Amino acid sequence: MTDAENIREVEQLNPSMMGFIFYEKSPRYCQVKPSYLPTSAKHVGVFVDADITYIKNQMFDFQLDYVQLHGNETPAFCQELKATGIGVIKAIGMSCEADLWVAEAYINMCDYLLFDTKTPKQGGSGKQFNWNLLSAYKGPTPFLLSGGIGPEDAEKLQQFHHPMLAGYDLNSKFESSPGIKNVPKLKAFLVGI
């Protein structure tokens, strides 16, 4: 989220979390703090291999409730952040069942895992992975489902069940432009799931 008015409109849909991307290579990079931040949704800062000082500065400035880590952050790094009192979400790239072995190292080191499509870059491919791979996930840490979820996936999501599924990451396929959500599209989707 990058625009104050767009944040206000999306907030009316009652999302549990709203994200701010602090990765300069992303087209959604939040260069300037919006003049309005959500009051009911949790604030999530998205980082890729950022140093802890930079993360802490954004935690304070954006009143972050969670950090979402999309790089090569170690379980120890996640634990160090968690010790500051902030919630930690660790993204795990998925292309095959073996990728779940990576997730095992982060169990108890973060509050949520985020299963995303594995790409050579750091997320944002707009492509889906095979969600059936997650049937092999037996860990105790709840997860968010990410990776190319779009308006056409409402019915598919209704059919997807997992005891540790905690929510969905809705991003590029619900945008008018990078960092700006298409509110009517998002609203129609949320009614449908």
Q: Where do the domains of the chain lie? A: 4-192
Per residue in 59-95, pLDDT (tens digit) is 999 999 999 999 999 999 999 999 999 999 999 999 9
Per residue in 118-142, pLDDT (tens digit) is 987 665 567 899 999 999 999 999 9
Instruction: Give how far the C-alpha of residue 162 lies from the chain's centroid of Cα atoms, to the nearest Å.
Output: 18
d(CA 134, CA 2): 32
> CA angle 45-47-52, nearest 5°?
95
Per residue in 184-193, pLDDT (tens digit) is 999 999 887 7
CATH topology of domain 4-192: TIM Barrel (3.20.20)
Mapping DSSP to helix (H, G, I), strand (E, B) and coil, where does residue 135 land? helix
d(CA 88, CA 68): 6
Estimate the crossing angle of helix 183-192 against helix 4-11, to 10 degrees.
Answer: 20
Q: Under a CB-based contact definition with an 8 Å cutoff, are residues 180 and 6 in contact?
A: yes
pLDDT at position 30 over 80: yes
Residue 118 burial (CB count, 10 A): 17
- Tell me, what's the pLDDT at 122? 61
The pTM (predicted TM-score) of the whole model is: 0.95
- Nearest residue to 186 (alpha-carbon basis) of 41, 88, 80: 41
End-to-end CA distance of the chain: 22
